[in-house]
Each structure stands twice: as structure tokens, then as C-alpha cells.
Amino acid sequence: MQGNATDGYVITEDFVTAMLEEFRQQRTIHKRFAFEIVRQAHSLFRSLASLVDVTIPEDKHFTVCGDIHGQFYDLLNIWKLNGLPSADNPYLFNGDFVDRGSFSCEVIFALLAFKLLYPEHMHLTRGNHESKSMNKVYGFDGEVKAKYNGTMVDCFRELFCALPLAYCLNGRVLVLHGGLFSQDGVTLDDIRRTNRFREPPEDGVMCDALWADPSPLPGRTPSKRGVGLSFGADVTRSFLDANGLDLLVRSHEVKEEGYEVEHDGRLITVFSAPNYCDQMGNKGAFVRFNGNDMVPHFTTFSAVPHPDVKPMAYANAFLMGM
């Protein structure tokens, strides 16, 4: 990082490269830099709408990744396969960056640093695990306290409450973490107007965007998760048609091949944490769009080795047993 007395620190490409190498070697960055990354990223996300419109030029491409869940070494592998984020290689990471995997600090700092380096070309959606209640149970709080300190936990709480809920690509593809809504008639403007600067509520547009899942059954049915809902192909079709959209891309669920196309080809689930929690045996995937046609192209990949730190190493066993 480069710094001066008036502007604080400026993230540089050299700093990010060095930081990734420190993380790969299982070292942390200095707390001063860590706090600065979170502070600057929070300020940047606060300035965005709850639904962000992204334009992909006709001669450019754009990559969407699903859940990473603290699997830092698999994140590095995505960037090895598909290139690091840059002005010519933009990315959207669709929520659930942290929890379960025990390298969540490394994942979130890497993503935030690239956001600061390329603010127009690196995009992050909030997932249901970017929340206080999930972080307390599934490991992120414990990991942040172990690697940094308790104050940093509070800083991440505020940061997560500033993350956008959805992105619309070229006015044709909507990307959000969970799924569609418990009521008919929700518009893109309704998502734009949603107050996201809070912990996720138990119902409404924000809750559904973070928690809902597609279902093979028509209509709306209760969710197996106990929060959000399951929605059928008819709900997907009616929402997309009413909002002039072609496709919904979401994440939130493990898929054996890393992705699944459902609802008559109009809904894609993409999940980017291969061999989830070191035990599921699934592949990871990412989706790439070209601006000229916005047709999805899938790349699947397998897990890579990581240091011998088990998933959930920092989880709260007491809370999990409740």
C-alpha cells in the first residue's frame, strides 16, 4: 500500500500480489492494512444502490462465481484458470464468501482488495452468510478474532450490511444470491429501493433475495431451510418476463457439477466451492458471459489441496449444538 497523511492508503497492484502470497503462505497482513481495506471498501459499497446495473461492452466478457465459503486455495485456482480480476477481466462474486471454510479472512480480504483496485470491474453480492447470526455460528467470527481481533468483527458487520443485494447485467441477466420473492409483482425498482443497511430480516424482498431456492414444483412452497421460500418455474418465468429479463443467476446451493440449469433454461445456479467442506465431492463452476450475446458459458473445476486446517475449525460448537 502507498500512503500519505491526507488520503490514507491507496491499494496498488503490487500490494495485492504480495498480500495474496502472504495468505498462500498462511500468514496474515498487518492489522493497519486490514482495517484500511475494510474501511475503504465499506465507503465504496455504501455509495452503491441495492441493485447495481452493470454494462458489459459487446467485445468484452464477464465472469460470475458462486459461493466460495472460505476456500481460499480454490479461489486462487479460479484466478489461475480464468485470470485475475482486472479492467479487461471483470468478475462478480455472488455472496457467501465466508463461513465454513477456514480461510474466510483470506477470501474476503482478497475480494475486497480487488474491489478497491478495480471498483468498476469487481463486484460482490451479499449472501445469507454475510450476516451476524451466521458468522457467529459457522466460523467467520471466530476466525477473525483468532487472526485479527474483535473490533475487526464489528467492522465486517458494518461492511456486510453495505453489500448490494443484486446486479443486473446488460439489462438482461439478474444475479442475486438466493432467489425470487414471496409475492408477485416485485420489480427491479423494488429491489433498488430496498433498505439493505441492516441485518437480514425474516421476510420480505431482502430475505428472499438472500435465502430463496428454486423448486421443481410450481408456485411457491415452504423452504426446507425454514427461512425464505421455494419457487417454481412459473414464478421465475413471470418475474423475468414482467421485468424484461432473459435469465436469473443465483448461487446458495451445492451442485454436483458446480452448476445447474433449471426452470426451462431461465435459471442458473452456480456454486464455486469444490469438494465443499472437504466432504461433498462436488465440482465448482463459474459462468462467463460475452457482452455481444449474453449466452452463459460454464467452466467446471475440481478442488485443489489446501493446508491442513479443517473446515469449521473456528466454528462455535456450542451455538451449533443449540
Domains of the chain in start order, with CATH, are: 15-320 (3.60.21.10)
Q: Are 231 and 214 in contact (CB under 8 A)?
A: yes
Q: Encode pLDDT of 82-113 as tens digits.
A: 999 999 999 999 999 999 999 999 999 999 99
State the burial class of residue 91 (Cβ atoms within 10 Å of its Cβ: 0-12, 13-18, 19+).
buried
Catalytically active residues are 129
pTM of the model as a whole: 0.96
d(CA 51, CA 194): 9
Q: Which three cell numbers stand for residue 211?
A: 435465502
At residue 321, the pLDDT reads 57
* pLDDT tens, position by position, 137-159: 999 999 999 999 999 999 999 99
Percent of the chain with pLDDT over 90: 95
Question: Is the CB of residue 286 less than 8 Å from the CB of residue 78?
Answer: yes
> Which of 94, 76, 82, 97 lies closest to 23 in space, CA to CA?
76
- d(Cα 88, Cα 117) in Å, to the nearest integer? 13
